[in-house]
Amino acid sequence: MAELELIQCLSSTLSPDTNTRIAAELRLSELLKSPDAGLALSRIINTHELEMSLRQMSIRPSSITSPVT
């Protein structure tokens, strides 16, 4: 799994545009099903060149894709 696609999805979940955000959340939920997702998220967390918000979102991405109850 490429971390770049995960980074793009995480970034898009912060978009003020509803359509962009929903599309990113749906894609992210698909990407997180991959067995390599945990490793890719770990790499994102440890990439200090990325924005802190993206790194923090990598810690618990399920909160982005889980329905609100």
pLDDT digits (tens, 9 = 90+) for 10-66: 999 999 999 999 999 999 999 999 999 999 988 888 888 988 888 888 886 555 555
Amino acid (1-letter code) at residue 14 = L
Query: Is 35 strand, coil or helix?
Result: coil
pLDDT value for 56: 84
Q: Name the nearest CA neighbour of 27 among 50, 1, 47.
A: 1
CB 15 within 8 A of CB 21: yes
Please state the separation of Cα 63 from the chain's center in Å.
Answer: 10
For the four alpha carbons of 19, 37, 64 and 58, in that order, the dihedral sign comes to negative
pLDDT value for 69: 46
